[in-house]
Chain A
């Protein structure tokens, strides 16, 4: 077991636990965008920041990638974190406003204005789809190409990938893309964009396997 101080409390967690898992275990909520329990940690969205180290000499790290260490002093809700996080959310809003996840975050953290020039990207490069495709679907059909501001998600050489089985895992996990996030619309309470996915529960309902919430397919089945 590893002993740490979390928000002033002496706690102990198992070796190999990340700070995010530790905080969640102790009931402290930390926002994330690029993290998913079933996937490896990536540390790209920077929303899950926590402050580590003694006051005065502390620094911010992403809790999803930071392993618990003996004697570490961790604080999860400081002004410094809040300031950085709100700036990040504002940047997300300025970049990718059509994501419901991001709009919700803005609401939760009371980011009410965007002071940057508005862009309308449909990807925040959180890398969830790439990890989903690789780690859960064992397909490796997509990857991240190029670097810096030119970075994007693509198939090899931008050709249709032989590896892709059209499983839709990438779309399912995406917190930003248009296909999932048009949100409920006036004429239609569900956005329908997910209809072309084929969730495993379509043929035979099995609770454990259904990873869609709300499950479009089930709802359709129920309506029929």
Chain B
């Protein structure tokens, strides 16, 4: 589903990603972990070209999205992204947030979009918030809406960039619960997270980024019991 070949990315003189290669199968859940500043967000943002890589190739469903003649907007419709700080549209209600892109990007009839949105709101347990503005919601509720908004586009891939890092502790659970349920639907997911227990439970694979290099790419069992590199061991000791 996702193939990354020899990806390089730098910001002016700072090399953030160094020769990262990775492939994720359809339906797989991949957790990206690593110290802060190691390039996790940048890697994730390259997958939908929010960042343009300097070198290397990215293939989504065997289509090279890094090729200049690719219609990237079309590709992005198929890749949902959930941000640490939600980024709901504050001037739209929850329902309006969710139906905007389906209607204006995918040309789905409004009625149908509303139906779909309500169904998704039920799935994230927010049926009664359809007409609220984002400012009226708690952090956990906002993040669940953000997830539902992405899902409304019916993407095959979901990217999560530290979806619970901006939340108060008591709200982390409700968001993780939503993501966990999603993992069982067969959607392909890439999750950047600091929630080790969650990664261990939900992910099929753990990728460890260290200073821009992908140094470990293992099953959760292997990674958490015997990581190969010293840096990963040190990182785990600090996190667990």
Partners in one complex: no
**Chain B residues within CB distance 8 Å of chain A:** none
**Chain A residues within CB distance 8 Å of chain B:** none
